[in-house]
Structure 1
Amino acid sequence: MCGIVGYVGPRDCTDVLVSALTKLEYRGYDSAGIAVFEDGKIAVAKTKGRLSDLVNKMEKEGKPHGHAGIGHTRWATHGEPSDVNSHPHSGRRVTIVHNGIIENYKQLKQFLIDNERTEFLSDTDTEVVAQLLDFYYDGNPIRCIRKVLHELRGSFALGIVFADRPDTVYAVRCESPLIVGQGTGEVFVASDVPAIIKYTKDYYLLEYGEIAVLKNGSVHFCSLHGRMIEKELHTADWDEDSAEKGGYPHFMIKEIHEQPTAVKTTVTPRIEDGLPDLSECGITPEALKNVNNIFIVACGTAMHAGMVGKYVIEKLARVSVTVDIASEFRYRDPLLGKDDLVVIISQSGETADSKAVLSLAKEMGAKTLAVVNVKGSSIAREADMVIYTHAGPEIAVASTKAYMVQLAVMYLLAFEMAFAGGRIDEEKCRKLTSQLTAMPDIIQETIEKTLDVCQYISTKLITADSLLYIGRGLDYALSMEGSLKLKEISYIHSESYAAGELKHGTISLITDGMPVIAVATQNTLLEKTVSNIKEVKARGAMTIVICDEQADIDREAADYLIRVPRISEMLMPMVATVPMQLLAYYTSVNKGNDVDKPRNLAKSVTVE
């Protein structure tokens, strides 16, 4: 998840690009860079670090001046954060900035090496695109772009400049978002409207495969087939503050809507020829085959992702998994050996208790695997192996997309471990992997189908003093996260319990009208879960049931039903978590709370 911008017009291009990137730095801050036409040549300035580091560098070394150029702020996916991996990337005659993932970059890179002996300077998939454009460039930019687009697989958007086409910027979208702003005698390209709202509120939305040509302060568009097209001009009615949220009222709801893209960005680079491939993370089948026990250690939401991981790894790979809270694990003198694997899950990579567990595990000789979202973080640097979750920056304190991509990583790890250990065959592994790659579209469908009903049901929760979440199996693991989401932003006391435990004490809490949210997506356990729902219903509870769209739920058991698409039971947590996020969000909104910054909480807990 990166931010790209472009500008053609009378203003100082560098100033415009830097200003625009400031509004997109939430999309990434591993590095920043610009390419500007200066005296008819492309001048590039880029550096590792935040945008402020680029500004400081240009103040010392001189900034390029001109009236056309492109810019980038990076969230690293391929290649660590570094000066050389920073965008823009160049071939001999072409310079580009890129947001997204090129799935087949390895094959394309080998093609270029075989046919041109191209020397690559970086580890990025982006440089492959720059070199490919250069390879096919015959003096006709549109024809070249179209030819390259037919060879690329993935989700991406590009800003492109050609050395022999001064003061002209080309832009193309293939799934990753891109807009073109129209000002008076000036035009802009950006990943999102916030980048241009300072200069203009008028913009065009690029669709899949559409190419924009910005020149002389105006823009024209052509299709993937080369035909000129007319586009509707939109006008934003946001102010600058709301524009940073992309028109959403809060970052949390924006980040819920970003989950399909986050999952795709996380999963796609880790699949090779239809099978999970974690080799770039330092994980080999040989290493996985020799694991004796797995300990998943995390805090809060990350620990709940680990609970789902436990169920899936044990079921598929038949390896014992213990999930523990980091602050407890480090003090209970755990039994660890050299054949054990300790998995540390942390969104920030700086969680204090999780860092302490990592140090303890290494001292005791266990292998360590970090699952983190921030490249270069302490936990990422110190672990033996690292799987980066490519959620992009998450601003809201209540985690949504970071949790979702942690789930995706748990599935990838389970699939590869089960296949490596011979517990599932190749056909089964391909089937599971295919189901996982389909999840972004299913998550999107779930958001669209459940948003309105969750908004309505949330109005029934705002007067509650306390409520329960219940579930069995994976649904119990999922209900723990749903309960945490609700309590942390709505301030309603909420607990989650295994549904089978109700009669061992918890059912005494049920009072007339008390909400009970039952997660019932595991059809093999559905009858037992429905029986538990009826037990609380008979004692006066108001029951809300989350189930799949084909589940046979006795309507006498459920006051409200939230139905999600039916998929494999094993992958249901990635679907059913969506309505729980929406319930928490809208309940908090209806209560007038500060959704993105709940009281007493911080995004990253870096102290004990």
Structure 2
Amino acid sequence: MCGIFGYTGNKSASDLLLQGLGRLEYRGYDSAGLATVSENGGLEHLKSGGKLSNLIKLIGTEPLTGNCGIGHTRWATHGEPNDLNAHPHGNSSADLFTVHNGIVENYFDLKEMLVKEGHNFLSETDSEVIPHLISHFIEKGFGLEKAIQQTASAIKGSNTVAAIHSKNPGEIIAFRVGNAGGLTIGIGIDEMFISSDLPALAEHTNTVHFLASGQVALVNSNGVNFTDLDGNKVNLETHTIEKNTLFAEKDGFDHFMLKEIMDQPESSMSSLRGRLRFSPYSVLVPEVPLTSKQAQEIKRVVLLGMGSSLHAAQLGALYLEKFARIPAVAEDSSEFRYRNPVIDKSTLVIAVGQSGETADTLEAMNHAKKYNAKIISVANVEGSQATRIAEGTVMMHSGYEVGVASTKTFTGSLICLLLIALHLANDRNSLSKEELSELTEQLTHLPRLMGESTQLNAGTFSNLAKLYSKMRRFLFIGRGLMVPIASEGSMKLKEISYLQAEGMTAAAMKHGPIALVDAETPVIALATNNEYRMKNIGNMNEVLARGGSLTAVISLGDDQLESLVTNALFVPKAPEILEPIIATIPLQLLAYHIADYLNLDVDQPRNLAKSVTVE
């Protein structure tokens, strides 16, 4: 939810910290701050409410010195997003500063104890108890390392913390407890880095360690040592990650979101690459960690996700039942482990999430693991926590996504889930060789079809944006494979335009929501030319009969539907299994153009964060 970046070496820490936070700002942009060990050995810090640009301006007039420091960009959980509540937070003597990602669930009791001891709190945050608690243990006679280990054990919840102290001027000490987002240690030459996400390290190093729950990292410019919370030495594997700095540029687009929508033809090729066989046509996803025998023994599939990933999981469940003929259900990760679900070794759990760090999904995966379920993750970040919990990971390979609203990682998820369904269908013999060959051949056309989808309707969106920016609410409807896409379309509009929208099955509209239909409530219908065509026409006529405005996503050349609807958004004719994926694109572009017309922050919509690492 928040972004942490740290540096120790022989370069200016503040410059590198700001650069790193710029790569992490999608994780939260309510406030930002830095703390460094100054050239004279003391600690300096600056922080500012609002976006990182505010902090950059402040440092321009009040520069920080030193070669070691920590930085933070915040998504607020406790306390308003302002200067006072921004990180880093310090202790009463200001010789210790910390940055924090997570929620200290027992902060009220800890704060009450610390206040009685004379500790002075300045903010409204739960995070501020951490530096005071470290000081509390130092006052009890513990050294800094042991005091931090004691603090990690004392705070409840999922938390990741990094600290600097004036008595250890070149050292950063960090710990992780639970699933409060990852922390990666980057290894340089006479310099070291820490970061919440890999992409912020891409320009500096591709050699890293991943800090796991219950571990502490003691980082200086010469290297890093790891311990558990009791101080026992831990050896962590060193990973070499493929460098990718392409994410940093908009390539002439006004916003990252628009660039990432237009990236989808290429990113879809990356998702397919190496997974299609052409002689004969078939699908093979080597990352699926099941033998043919194990695939045949699977009795049920549970797909887990939150937000856009839940919508992807819903379509994935439909693909699995349709092709692999396995009972499948998509579940909200946050509720899964609390309802005592029925799972066992014959259950396959597929966890979907672009970051691989969503706290609710990680906890659901851990719950499933207790019952010996087979676990696959679908993720876009190599080495993320989800990839380390799962037995196998099907990477999206979508490339880095800066915009907070998911676009190319959503379609990447859909492609991966379709590939998994076809892979399992092959192993389970639920499709004939001829059927599998035909479906695989259809998949080869997907990048071209997505490319055409990005180019169609170019002149339509600006007119719709001007019209729809004045509307009060929207209903998105679909049937069959299009139902999850209706939900995703409504979410995109809500996320970036702040307009109320609701997605549903077209038939469900008659059971209440149709009461909302009026001149100020447009209906967006997904009505490509498939088996639901006549039912879609009936549902759309119900809207028109009540004076509603109807925009429909329809197949190019469908003159009958074009003449029926108020506005048409076209997609190229496509096989049924690909229609949901390509129909996503005009809905993304519609949401983008409405938000852009309203002059809203498309890439960083209010109150949201790219990676939700708190429950």
| TM-score using structure 2 length | 0.61
Select 1:295's aligned residue among 289, 295, 302: 302
- How far residue 431 of structure 1 moved from its aligned partner, in angstroms, is 2.0
Deviations 1:13-68 (A, max 9, x none): xxxxx99xx89x979xxxxxxxxxxxxxxxxxxxxx999956x41669xxxxxxxx
1:540 and 2:557 correspond:
no
The letter of the residue matching 2:267 is: A
Deviation at 1:74, TM superposition (A): 6.3
The 1:469–1:254 alpha-carbon spacing in structure 2 relative to 1, beyond 3 Å, is: same
The alpha-carbon deviation at position 560 of structure 1 amounts to 0.4
Partner residue of 1:202? none
User: Where in structure 2 are the equivalents of 1:234-249 lying within 5 Å?
Assistant: 244-249=249-254
Q: 1:264 aligns with which of 264, 269, 272?
A: 269
Correspondence for 1:472: 479
Q: Tell me the equivalent position of 1:132.
A: none
Deviations 1:117-163 (A, max 9, x none): xxxxx99999xxxxxxxxxxxxxxxxxxxxxxxxxxxxxxx9xxxxx
Once the 2 structures are TM-superposed, how far is the Cα of residue 246 of structure 1 from its aligned partner?
1.4
Matched, 1:380 2:387: yes
Please name the residue that 1:419 is paired with.
426
- Residue matched to 1:364: 371
1:253 matched to 2:258? The reply is yes
Query: Partner of 1:336 in structure 2?
Result: 343
Q: What code does the residue aligned with 1:455 have? A: S
Q: How does 1:117-516 map to 2 (within 5 A)?
A: 244-273=249-278, 274-516=281-523
Which residue does 2:572 correspond to in 1?
Answer: 565
CA distance in 2, matches of 1:277, 1:555: 39
How far residue 281 of structure 1 moved from its aligned partner, in angstroms, is: 4.3
Match of 2:526 among 471, 495, 519: 519
Deviation for aligned residue 1:549: 1.0
Aligned residue among 595, 607, 610 for 1:603:
610
The alpha carbon displacement at 1:533 in A equals: 0.8
1:49-88 map, 5 Å = 53=186, 56-57=188-189
Amino acid at match of 1:398: A
d(CA) in 2 for partners of 1:272, 1:555: 38
The 5-angstrom pairing of residues 1-20 of structure 1 reads none
Query: Aligned AA for 1:259?
Result: Q
- CA apart distance, 1:341: 0.5
For the 8 Å contact 1:295–1:321, the answer to whether it is kept is yes
Does the 8 Å contact 1:470/1:479 carry over to 2? yes
Report if aligned partners of 2:473, 2:520 keep a CA contact under 8 Å in 1.
no
CA contact (8 A) 1:470 1:516 kept: yes
* Partner of residue 90, structure 1: none
- Say if 1:589 and 1:416 are closer, same or farther in 2 by CA, change over 3 A: same
Distance 1:308 1:441 in 2: 21
Query: CA separation in 2, counterparts of 1:276 and 1:303?
Result: 24
Q: Would you say the 8 A contact 1:451–1:579 is kept in 2?
A: no
Distance in 2 separating the partners of 1:555 and 1:588: 26
Aligned-pair distance for 1:289? 1.8
Q: Distance in 2 between matches of 1:338 and 1:53?
A: 37
1:518-574 C-alpha deviation (Å, 9 max, x unpaired):
001252111111111111111111100101113353455300011110011121011
Displacement of 1:512 in angstroms is 2.5
- Whether contact under 8 Å (1:313, 1:321) holds in the other structure is yes
Tell me what 1:182 maps to: none
CA–CA distance in 1 between the matches of 2:23 and 2:448?
24
Distance 1:290 1:389 in 2: 26
Check conservation: 2:207, 2:240, Cα contact below 8 A. Answer: no
- Counterpart amino acid of 1:57? I
Which of 579, 590, 595 aligns to 2:597? It is 590
Contact kept? 2:457, 2:569, Cα under 8 Å: yes
SS at match of 1:279: coil
Whether contact under 8 Å (1:367, 1:384) holds in the other structure is: yes
Q: What SS does the aligned partner of 1:572 have?
A: helix
| Contact 2:186–2:208 (Cα < 8 Å) also in 1 | no
CA distance in 2, matches of 1:51, 1:332: 33
Q: Go from structure 1 to structure 2 and tell me whether the alpha carbon gap of 1:404 and 1:507 turns closer, same or farther (over 3 Å shift).
A: same
Q: Which has the higher contact order (CA 8 A, sep 6+)?
A: 2
Structure 2: 5+ residue stretches without partners: 1-14, 25-181, 193-200, 210-237
Counterpart of 1:474, as a letter, is: L
Question: CA-to-partner distance for each residue in 1:437-490, whole Å, 9 max, x for gaps?
Answer: 221111111101133322322222100111100111112121010000001100
Which 10-residue stretch deviates more, 386-395 or 551-560? 551-560
In 1: Cα distance, 2:484 partner to 2:464 partner: 22
C-alpha distance in structure 2 between counterparts of 1:459 and 1:285, whole Å: 54
* Closer/same/farther in 2, CA of residues 530 and 462 from structure 1, 3 Å limit: same
Change (3 A) 1:484 1:416: same
TM-score scaled by structure 1?
A: 0.62
Q: Is the CA contact (8 Å cut-off) linking 1:304 and 1:481 kept in structure 2? A: yes
Determine if contact 1:474/1:522 at 8 Å carries over to the other structure: no
Q: CA deviation at 1:425?
A: 1.8
Post-superposition Cα deviations, 1:297-329, rounded to whole Å, max 9, x if no partner, equal: 100000111111111111111111111111121
| C-alpha contact 1:26 1:393 (8 A) present in aligned 2 | no
Output the CA distance in 1 between the equivalents of 2:394 and 2:580. Answer: 20
- Does the CA-based 8 Å contact 1:470-1:519 persist in structure 2? yes
Contact 1:251 1:396 in 2 (8 A): yes
Mapped contact 2:553–2:570 kept (Cα < 8 A): yes
Q: Give SS of 1:369's match.
A: strand
Match of 1:30 in 2: none
Q: Is the 8 A contact 2:299 2:346 kept in 1?
A: yes
Q: For residue 118 of structure 1, what is the aligned residue in structure 2?
A: none
Instruction: Give yes or no for contact 2:345–2:371 (8 Å, CA) kept in 1.
Output: yes
| Percent identity for Structure 1 against Structure 2 | 34
CA 1:123–1:428 in structure 2 vs 1: closer, same or farther (change >3 Å)? farther
Instruction: Return the letter of the residue paired with 1:335.
Output: V
Q: Distance in 1 between matches of 2:388 and 2:576?
A: 35
Cα distance between partner residues in 2 of 1:245 and 1:556: 38
Q: Distance in 1 between matches of 2:184 and 2:208?
A: 13
Question: Do the aligned partners of residues 125 and 261 (structure 1) sit closer, same or farther apart at CA in structure 2, a change above 3 Å counting?
Answer: farther
Cα gap change, 1:191 to 1:362, in 2 (>3 Å): closer
Q: Shift of the alpha carbon at 1:434?
A: 2.1
Query: Aligned letter for 2:381?
Result: V
Give 1:604 shift.
0.6
Shift of 1:387: 0.9
1:233-262 per-position Cα deviation (integer Å, ceiling 9, x unaligned): xxxxxxxxxxx3111111100111111111
CA contact (8 A) 1:298 1:324 kept: yes
Shift of 1:82: 5.0
Give the distance between the partners of 1:402 and 1:484, measured in 2 at CA. Answer: 15
Q: Distance in 2 between matches of 1:535 and 1:58?
A: 69
Shift of 1:336: 0.6
Matches within 5 A, 1:95-114: none
- Structure 1 CA distance, aligned partners of 2:376 and 2:301? 10
- Are the counterparts in 2 of residues 512 and 541 from structure 1 also a CA contact under 8 Å? yes
